[in-house]
Amino acid sequence: MSDTHAASTAFVRHDPLPPAPPPVTETGIVKWMRENLFATIPNAILTLLSLWAIYTVLSGVIPWITNGVWGAENIRECRELLAGATGGCFSVISERWNQLVFGIAYPREEYWRPTLAFVLLIVSVFPVLFPRAPRKMLILTIIYPFVAYWLIWGGTVLTPILLFAGAVVGYVVYSKLVASNFAAGFFGGLTAAAIAWWLAGFAIDAGSDVLALREVVSRDMGGFMLNMILGVVCVSLSLPIGIVLALGRQSDMFVIKWICIVFIEFIRGVPLITLLFVANVVLAYFLPPGSNFDLILRVIIMITMFASAYIAEVIRGGLAALPKGQYEAADSLGLDYPQAMRLIILPQALKISIPGIVNVAVGLFKDTVLVSIISMFDLVGMIRGPILASTDWNGVYWELWGFAALLFFVVCYSISQYSQWLERQLQTDHR
Amino acid sequence: MSDAAIVSDTSQMKVGNKVAIQITNMNKWFGQFHVLRDINLTVYEGERIVVCGPSGSGKSTLIRCINRLEEHQKGSIVVDGTELSSDLKNIDKIRSEVGMCFQHFNLFPHLTILENCTLAPIWVRKTPKREAEETAMHFLEKVKIPEQADKYPGQLSGGQQQRVAIARSLCMRPRIMLFDEPTSALDPEMIKEVLDTMIELAQEGMTMICVTHEMGFARQVANRVIFMDQGQIVEQNEPEPFFNNPQSDRTKLFLSQILGH
């Protein structure tokens, strides 16, 4: 016995074992399926059920898309072409493309202007979205609003130039005065800009045909272009206003604090649609008779107020999440309030707030379709009104609403992906 | 307490006879609670003062009053000839002359170590960026972590972070440094590296007020130890007589508790 025992314990390996491949069931696709699809019997049943459900949906949708008709003139022709087979009448999209994108009244020969404005938009948001882009490109971003206004609404080139000049005058006055006192700089800058714009008004009236593009009135804006105008303008205005409101709500100054609280709580407590009706109808009663206050401008003001109240609350959450020590460290180094906010507090608070801000921005962009209720012909307004009501395309719901959904999804999903990328870029704490 | 301004025998560090901080009959309340009662304290240039006492005795509040992180309600505080009032200009001036290190470091997590150190010189002192960076590297070398300059605070250990915080304060070339329990949030291993930095600073003649429980540090570098309890200064003396021959019963009890184990 002792011999065998000794033989089994004392052991020397002379030839090391070569590595062998794992059994088939433990690698690659087989292993993955065993673990993820067929781990247990109920799991396997659910997998089969899901596959069946996916198959049912796809077997309906795919022929609808692949059999789709793109060249028909109207719905009757489309139905004839299909001859009873499953298939979508996508020709409505190609036939009414211009209406879906630009609305019904925008002059056909001027379509290049909003298109160019859209291309420039992409170029000029680039340096804002990507911190590594050359800083000089920010000049594009600064002049873009004036150029886009000129391109879309038309009129004399003096309008954007003088508006821009007025803004520059305001900024110069602000930067001169702000050294001594922030309030003096702020209100001084505003006043200077207002005076400059008022003077510019005369110059624009005098030179109304200098390099003029054909004028297009706000009533004629429509289609997805209108959604883009409202979305882009309101998001970019509501972010700075939201920051100011959030800081104001935290202020030690009693009056400012309460103005901000009342504004935020009131606007947040009211449905957006009522604000839009106010913009459309009621606001006219408060304005001097005969004054013509642009409808899009009124809608922009209302949506911006609405969104900025939400963004203010999101940013307040970010501010509250910062440890008190950050404020104290900034103070103890001798930074004054604007410096501490700009350099220390807001970069961190905004970073925390990115998901919330994006949430509001995406929601806001989709809410721009509500203007169809106050009879503006945005994308949804166009579909509901002129297109579906026409005898040519009465009844092609799936194709049109699917197209509208797709447009919004592409934009909103891109915003969401961008924000996740940005969050990863800004992550400095656990690297 | 002008006696305390005499150079202590434990070191060659010089104490001047110019007053750096003069606190007279200072009182502070948190709501109804009387946190600081009739504080009188004169700190001369080059003095190294350790403030100790049980928690809740007002030590932190006292030094936070000196750079107006807390506001006092009665009495006066004069720092470097400027009286602390509600005048924002005075407050910012004093804050840029008085450096402060916190228990939890309070580095700015979204900025690199170098940016943490150059931010205040660039924005408050209007130092050109290059010069600020050179100064920052000088002080980072002094606290022995120049190689971490491009990292973010979250990548550093606690002890390293606290040394960066000290370097960040020094970059403003302060005349006075305040330390609010700088080693209380650190592992024992890291306490030493921070204390070494502070000792080096003391040897260069920096005016320092430290709230700390490190009695070894107090013995080694302080030329005055202040014991506080219930918002009052109970006892102050040079380290040797303070530790070996405390006068008040409260001090004796406190010392026996923290030195007893």
pLDDT over threshold 70, residue B52: yes
Average pLDDT over residues A187-203: 83
Q: Is there a contact between A332 and B92 if contact means CB atoms under 8 Å apart? A: no
To the nearest whole number, what is the mean pLDDT of chain A?
A: 85
What's chain A's length in residues? 431
Gap between the terminal Cα atoms of chain B:
31
**A267: nearest Cα among A259, A42, A17:** A259
Per-residue confidence at B227, pLDDT binned at 50, 70, 90? Answer: very high
Quote the pLDDT of residue A4.
Answer: 53
Q: In angstroms, what CA-CA distances link B250 with A162, B62, B247, B253, B255? A: 76, 19, 9, 5, 9
Q: Is there a contact between A332 and B69 if contact means CB atoms under 8 Å apart? A: yes
Chain B interface includes A326 (CB < 8 A): yes
- Name chain B contacts of A329, Cβ cutoff 8 Å: 102, 106-108
CA distance B164 to chain A (A): 13
pLDDT over threshold 80, residue A388: yes
**Residue A376 CB-half CA count within 13 A:** 31
- pTM for the predicted model, two decimal places: 0.83
ipTM score above 0.90: no
Q: Is there a contact between A326 and B106 if contact means CB atoms under 8 Å apart? A: yes
Q: Which residue of A has its CA nearest to B68?
A: A332
CA distance B259 to chain A (A): 31
Average pLDDT over residues A313-332: 92
Quote the pLDDT of residue A7.
Answer: 55
pLDDT over threshold 80, residue A335: yes
Residues 6+ apart with CB under 8 A from B175: B20, B45, B80, B97, B98, B207
Per-residue confidence at A429, pLDDT binned at 50, 70, 90? Answer: low
Q: Give percent above pLDDT 70 in chain A.
A: 95
User: Do residues B43 and B209 make contact, with C-beta atoms less than 8 angstroms apart?
Assistant: yes
* Order of strands, sheet of B232-237, starting from the edge strand that comes earlier in the sequence: B98-101, B176-180, B207-211, B48-52, B224-229, B232-237
Q: For residue range A152-182, what is the model confidence (pLDDT) as tens digits?
A: 888 778 788 888 888 888 888 888 887 777 7
Quote the pLDDT of residue A316.
Answer: 94
Quote the pLDDT of residue B4.
Answer: 40
**A248: nearest Cα among A186, A333, A312:** A312
Quote the pLDDT of residue A416.
Answer: 92
Chains A and B form CB pairs within 8 A to the count of 69
pLDDT over threshold 60, residue B149: yes
Torsion of CA A70, A75, A76, A77, to 10 degrees: -20
| Nearest neighbour of B123 by CB, restricted to A323, A339, A428 | A339
pLDDT over threshold 80, residue B246: yes
pLDDT over threshold 70, residue B236: yes
pLDDT over threshold 80, residue B168: yes
Q: What CA–CA distance (Å, rounded) separates A374 from B175?
A: 66
Quote the pLDDT of residue B91.
Answer: 86
Residues 6+ apart with CB under 8 A from A412: A362, A365, A366
Average pLDDT over residues B16-20: 82
User: Do residues B224 and B5 make contact, with C-beta atoms less than 8 angstroms apart?
Assistant: no
What's chain B's length in residues? 261
pLDDT over threshold 60, residue B169: yes
Residues 6+ apart with CB under 8 A from B231: B34, B35, B36, B37, B57, B58
Q: Is there a contact between A339 and B106 if contact means CB atoms under 8 Å apart? A: no
SS3 B42: strand
pLDDT over threshold 90, residue B118: yes
Torsion of CA A64, A70, A75, A77, to 10 degrees: -110
Chain A interface includes B7 (CB < 8 A): no
Q: Is there a contact between B119 and A333 if contact means CB atoms under 8 Å apart? A: yes
Q: Count Cβ atoms within 10 A of the Cβ of residue A90 and give its class: 0-12 exposed, 13-18 middle, 19 or more buried.
A: buried
Q: Which residue of A has its CA nearest to B172?
A: A333
User: Do residues B170 and B145 make contact, with C-beta atoms less than 8 angstroms apart?
Assistant: no
**What are residue A106's phi and psi, to 5 degrees?**
-70, 130
Give the amino acid at A169. Answer: V
Residues 6+ apart with CB under 8 A from A405: none
